[in-house]
Amino acid sequence: MSIDGGGTRGYLPALVLQELERRAKRPASDLFDLIVGTSTGGIIGIGLAAGRSATELAQFYPRYGRAIFGGSDTRPRWKQRLFGTTGDFARDWESSLRKIGSPFGGDPGGGGNARHSADGLDAALGEVLGEMTLAQVSTPLIATTFDAASGVPVLLTSRDAAKSADRDLPLRLVARATSAAPTFFPPLETTWAGATRRFIDGGVWANNPAHLGMLEAITSASADPRSVTLVSLGTGAAPTRPSFQLDLSWISAAMDTVALATTVHTGHTLCQRYLSPDRYHRLQVTDPGIAGAMDDPSAERLAALASAANRLIADHSDHLDRVLQQLIVS
C-alpha cells in the first residue's frame, strides 16, 4: 500500500482505509506485505505498521489538528485575522512572527521560514507512536524524506533499520522526518546512518511514493511486477492543467516547477506502466475544492474531506470489494 502526502488531506485516505478495515473485518495492516508513505501518508502508514487501527488513525487530524496547526473553530474569523487564531497572546504572537518571516526568512528566533512550530506535531506523534522504533514494526515500512544537509533523497525503511542500528530511529522521528514540509514546519535535525541530517518532507521528491513501493516489492522479494498487487491512496488533487506555457511570466514558470516537484502523477504513471492493470488500484479524488490548504484542520474542512471520502467509497464500492478479494487471497 502507498499513501500520498497532503497535510490535513490525509484524513481522506484514512477514512478509505477505515472502510477497507470494516469490510475486511481485520486490521488494515494485516492486508498488506509492505506500506510506503510520504508526509501525512507517511504518518498514517507508520501508525498502521506500528499496529494502530485505521479507525484510530482516521481521528489523527480531528483530534490533534488544532494542536498541530493552531486556530479555533469557535473564534470568529475576523478576530482570528486581526488578533490571531488561538486567543492565546503568546502563541498568536509567535504565529504572527512565523507568518511574517515565511516570505522573507532569515530570523530563526522569529520563526524563520516555518509557519508552524513543531511542538504540537511532536507531541501528537509521541502520544500516538510512543517509543517504538522503525526496526520494531510489525509490517514492513518505507517513509520518504529528504536530507537538506546533503541535498539527497532518503528512504527510511524497516528493512534497513533491522540490518543496521545506525539506520534505526523512533517512529515519532520517522514521522517528523517525512512530514517536515518546507515553510510549514522546521526540518528535523537528527543523526542517521552515521551523519548529522536535516530531514524535510519527502513530498519534495516523492509526493506519491507508489513506484517506490513497487520497486521495493520487486527487489526485496524478487517478485514479477505483474504479480504485485498495489493499492495507492491519494489525498485529493486538482485537475491537471498545461504547464510551462511560454506566454506566462517567470513567476508562473517557477510555480510550475514547484508543482512539478510535488506532483503525484509520476508514481502513478510508473505503476501504470509496469504493474498489471487489474492489480494496480489508484483511489483518488480529483476536485479543486478538496485539493486546497494542507494546514486547515477546521471542522468545515474536515467535513468536506469526509464527504469526499464517502463519495469515493460509494462510487467505487464494487472496486473496493475486488481489491479486498485480491488482498485476502494473496
- The gap from C-alpha 80 to its chain's centroid, in whole angstroms, comes to 27
The active-site residue, picked from 2, 29, 39, 95, is 39
The pLDDT, as a whole number, for residue 99 is: 54
User: How far is the C-alpha of 206 from the C-alpha of 45, rounded, in Å?
Assistant: 15
User: How far is the C-alpha of 135 from the C-alpha of 157, rounded, in Å?
Assistant: 8
The pLDDT, as a whole number, for residue 103 is: 52
Nearest Cα to 168, choosing from 146, 208, 136, 140? 136
The active-site residue, picked from 4, 147, 168, 201, is 201
The pLDDT, as a whole number, for residue 111 is: 46
The pLDDT, as a whole number, for residue 275 is: 94
User: How far is the C-alpha of 182 from the C-alpha of 114, rounded, in Å?
Assistant: 7
The pLDDT, as a whole number, for residue 110 is: 45
User: How far is the C-alpha of 313 from the C-alpha of 320, rounded, in Å?
Assistant: 8
Write out the chain's pLDDT in tens, 330 residues.
999 999 999 999 999 999 999 999 999 999 999 999 999 999 999 999 999 999 999 999 999 999 999 887 765 655 555 444 444 545 554 555 555 555 555 445 544 578 889 999 999 999 999 999 999 999 999 999 999 999 999 999 999 999 999 999 999 999 999 999 998 999 999 999 999 999 999 999 999 999 999 999 998 877 788 889 999 999 999 887 776 677 767 666 655 555 656 677 899 999 999 999 999 999 999 998 898 889 999 999 999 999 999 999 999 999 999 999 999 976
The pLDDT, as a whole number, for residue 91 is: 52
Beta bridge partners, 36, equal 2, 142
Q: Please report how many Cα atoms fall inside a 13 Å half-sphere around the Cα of residue 215, on the Cβ side.
A: 8
Is 39 labeled as catalytic in the residue annotation? yes
The pLDDT, as a whole number, for residue 87 is: 47
**Could you tell me if 95 and 84 are in contact, meaning their C-beta atoms sit under 8 angstroms apart?**
yes
Nearest Cα to 262, choosing from 289, 225, 294? 294
From the CA atom positions of the chain, what is the Rg in Å? 19
